[in-house]
Structure formats: C-alpha cells, structure tokens
Amino acid sequence: MKTVFSFIIVSVMAYQLGWGQHKELQIAAALPFRPGNVAVSNDRIFSTVHPLGNDGVNVQLIEITGKDSYRPFPDASYQSIKGAPKGKQIDSPLGIRIDAKNRLWIVDMGQNRGTTRVYAFDINSGKEVYQYEFSQEIAPKGSFIQDLAIDDVNGFVFLADIANPGILVLDTNTNTANRITHSSMQPENIDTYINGELVLFGGAPARVGVNPITLSADKETLFYGAMSGTTWYAIPSSVLREGKSKDEFAKALKVVGPKPVSDGVITAKNGEHYMTNSQNYGIDKLTTSGDLLPVIRDKRLDWPDNVSISGDFLYISVNQLHKTTAFTGKPDSGTKPFYIYKLAIK
C-alpha cells in the first residue's frame, strides 16, 4: 500500500510540474546565430535575428528553408551590415507576427539608426506593403520596443516598450501614433533565477517592464504583462483605438490571471495563453478559467524567447539570451547552435 501511495504522490507531482506533458520537442531549425522572435504560417517559418549577442551577423530577418538552412527575407537588399543600416534596410528587429492577410509585420528598434520603424511584407510576393517610422516624441532614442500585436481588422498595431515602459498605438489607417503608460506596465520588484543563478541585465538584477503583448482572436481585447511580472492583464482594445484617457484606461483594465516571468506569449484562438517560462526552462498555459498550468519543462528551452502557433503546433525560439554580455556584463557564454523548436499542443 505504501508503494502504491508513493506512486500516486509522484504521479501527481509529475503532472503539476509538467513532466511528460507534450514532452517531445522537435527541431524546426538549428541556427548559427540567436533567433529573435518567430512567426509561422502554413509551415513557413520566419524569424528575426536578435540584436543582442549576434555581433558581426549581417542578416536581420530570415525565412527558415530547412533544419539547418535559411534565406534573407524578403531579400538581401533589406539586410544591413551590423551597425550601418542605409535607406530601407532593417536595423535591429525583434518582434514579428503574421496576420490573417499573410502579411509579416516586424518592429525594428533602430538601435543603430536611432529611430523605431514598423515594416510589413506580403509573405507570398516578398513585397513591402507598409512602413512607418515613429517620431522621437512617441519612441525616443533609447527605446526598446520589442514586441507587437497586429489588429488586421481595424488597422492597428500595438507595441510594447520595455525601456520606457508603455504601450504604443499605431493607427495604420491615418499613420498616426500615441503612447500610453500605466503602473501595470512597470516591472515588479522580483528577482529572476535560472538554474539557481540570479539573472542580471546591465549589471543589476533584471527588472524588465511590459513586453509580451497579444490580441484576442476577434481583436477586441489586448493582453499584456511585464517580463518581470506575475500578472497578465486585459484591456478592451477599443480603449486604445479610440484614444481614451488614462483614467478611462485604468477603469477598463482587468487582471486575467497569473503569469510566470516570461519573454513571450501567444494567445490561441480558443482564448488560452501560451507563455514562456524563463526561470523553469518551460512553457506554461493560462486557461480561460484562469488556471496557470505547465505544458513542458525541458533544459533545451534555455531562455525560450517567444512563441507562435500554426496548426497543431507551438513554435518556440530559444536563444540563451541571459548568457549574453548585455545581461551578464561578461563574455558571452552561449553555445551554438541556437534553436527554433516545435511542440504539438493538440
């Protein structure tokens, strides 16, 4: 009886920790440089090249063509030699999404150029279909605008700035933008540990503000949270589209549920949220009933940066970002190759 009881206890613990749940990670790509964010449509995989820890890499946006191959996207003319972007060339992109109209959107933080841009490309033709450069008033030099959510129904782009925590609202119909700030976008005073080691950023314990940002399937609810935060928020996107006041924003803001320390989140069509769990080499799922459940724990998920859903699979970019000099202040300790994985979630 004691043996049976012990087995039950271990089994319950295993379920709670996520052992054995959707355990099989498949390699979608093995890359010689750090992927940034990943976006997938009908098995076509696109990725930005992370601006941190990739010195000397002369591509910024790629399409995966095989497990160990890629091509510049849309072509070589948009790629820049590191530190010297010219004209239409992409500088330092990170956030990437594909909308229902098969347009690939990226946010280019412009760390070398000094201005932040949003690009959109038709993934079938490779043609640029939209570009916008933010003013210094909305995205001043030094901003770190690294994640975005696309409302292709109403023509809006919502972006998260971690350097000056806030959400940028871009109206692509009028080519106008504004910024809103709120205490919910600030980092919480919590430390991040990976494998028992304190994660630093810029030499101090990491405190990262609003970062993951997503939309509901009907585009009527915007979700967000701080990377260094344990709360996932929701706001009617109409509040942002219509430029409501800060007071109206605060009144409409709701808490959806808990979240782990996470760099990326994707909201599925059924309303569930898949979240990277930076501290525990994993992916969590926030259900529609508000329960935060482990999906997978695997040491190969060494800083899962962001996630994308296509069909029955979750795609995960993994880049060991916490091992870069920008985080540690020491020589980069990351090891190649860097991976994009796929994980069955249905």
| pLDDT surpassing 70 at residue 17 | no
pLDDT at 10: 35
Provide the 8-state DSSP code for 16.
Answer: H
Q: Which of 20-29, 147-156, 250-259, 269-278 has the lowest mean pLDDT?
A: 20-29
pLDDT tens, position by position, 226-238? 999 999 999 999 9
Cis-peptide into 337, omega within 30 deg: yes
Closest CA to 186 of 153, 204, 160, 156: 160
Domain residue spans of the chain: 2-344
Sign of CA dihedral 177, 181, 185, 191: positive
| pLDDT surpassing 70 at residue 18 | no
What is the second-level CATH architecture of the domain 2-344?
Answer: 6 Propeller (2.120)
pLDDT tens, position by position, 101-146? 999 999 999 999 999 999 999 999 999 999 999 999 999 988 999 9
| pLDDT surpassing 90 at residue 224 | yes
The residue whose two tokens read 């591509």 is 59
Cα separation values, 306 from 126, 202, 247, Å: 23, 21, 31
pLDDT tens, position by position, 64-102? 999 999 999 999 999 998 778 999 999 999 999 999 999
Q: Specify whether the CB–CB gap between 22 and 296 falls below 8 A.
A: yes
Burial class of residue 276, CB neighbours in 10 A (0-12, 13-18, 19+): buried
Kindly state the average pLDDT of the residues 211-217. 98
pLDDT at 23: 60
pLDDT tens, position by position, 162-185? 999 999 999 999 999 999 999 999
pLDDT tens, position by position, 322-331? 999 999 999 9
